Amino acid sequence: MISSRPLRIGPYELSSPFVLAPMAGVTDGPFRRLCRSFGAGMTTSEMTTADTRLWQSAKSRHRLDLDLDAEPVAVQIAGSEPGQLALAARACVDRGAQIIDINMGCPAKKVCRKAAGSALLRDEKLVAGILTAVTRAVDVPVTLKYRTGWDREHRNAVHIGRIAEDAGIQALAIHGRTRADRYRGEAEYETIARVKQSVGIPVIANGDITTLEKSLEVLRLTDADGLMIGRGAQGRPWIFRELKQLLDPLADSTQLGKRELRDIMLGHLDGLHRFYGEQTGVRVARKHLTWYCQHLDGADDFRHRVVRVDSASEQLRLTKQYFLGIEESGTQEQEGRRKHTQDKRKEAAL
């Protein structure tokens, strides 16, 4: 059973214990808004460098386009220098951030080469310095996202969790893999459960949570206060609506109709085109279209064509055309079944 205790981060009680994981290159403004429309309890900006000198780039400007209409406004920052991270946190708060999340979970080589992300887990003294510097720098809640350790021989998530709590961190999100695992193999949840038993702040479980059944299993295994959904939401933002039904089995059906799915995709595409401009928006939309196609029937030809066009109008036209084809196919199938039934009745009458 899902715990009835609310998920609270500082003064903010989340509307749902199911939150969207910050993912660089994925959880931009349009995608965050879409996931919130399906009930995500919190969405966090894409990971942003703590080096504020780089914030003038187009990429950073998009990543720092905050959802000021959605409370709490959460921003994730990454870096390896306590002072730099503290300054970045204050700058984010000045822009409207209500929660600062520190990334110590990213396994990407380009991040770890700078001793940031999950590379920090090798230096617990530096971890403590960073967390203390940031929590002292801002008056808003600071959270930490991290992994179970650097490698399987050095799983130190429990100790890091205690360091974080002592430093004033107000919630932990833990991915059930080490940095060395990257995204290979299966996530393990025993370490997350041990962290939950060792700290008094909320713990959010993350890693391989892609189905309702897996969600229930992870909650049972970890006793976590919430779940963080990452790759499970790619091409399937409605997973948050399905998860929320776990809290209220008597709620209306979450079955997704073809027309609703069409409108979701068209709205998402339009949002991306507007947010980035046509050229970049079309390019960014291609990966989302690929993920959507994993949940569509007979979409191989559609996917092959739609990811190769260069205009927003063509992406929208091909998407409408695909769903029109589904409707026509469904109508023909219904007509075939109706005619078959009529023929059977005629045969019986004879």
pLDDT at 12: 97
Q: pLDDT tens digit string along 131-141?
A: 999 999 999 99
Question: Largest Cα–Cα distance in the chain?
Answer: 89
| 301 backbone dihedrals φ, ψ, rounded to 5° | -65, -40
Please give the helix or strand (H or E) that residue 75 lies within, else none: strand 74-78
According to CATH, the topology of domain 8-244 is TIM Barrel (3.20.20)
> Nearest Cα to 176, choosing from 202, 210, 217, 209?
209
Active site residues: 106
Q: Where are the domains of the chain?
A: 8-244, 258-349
121/140 Cα distance (integer angstroms): 24
Which pLDDT band, with edges at 50, 70 and 90, does 91 fall under? very high
Q: pLDDT tens digit string along 148-191?
A: 987 777 889 999 999 999 999 999 999 998 877 777 888 999 99
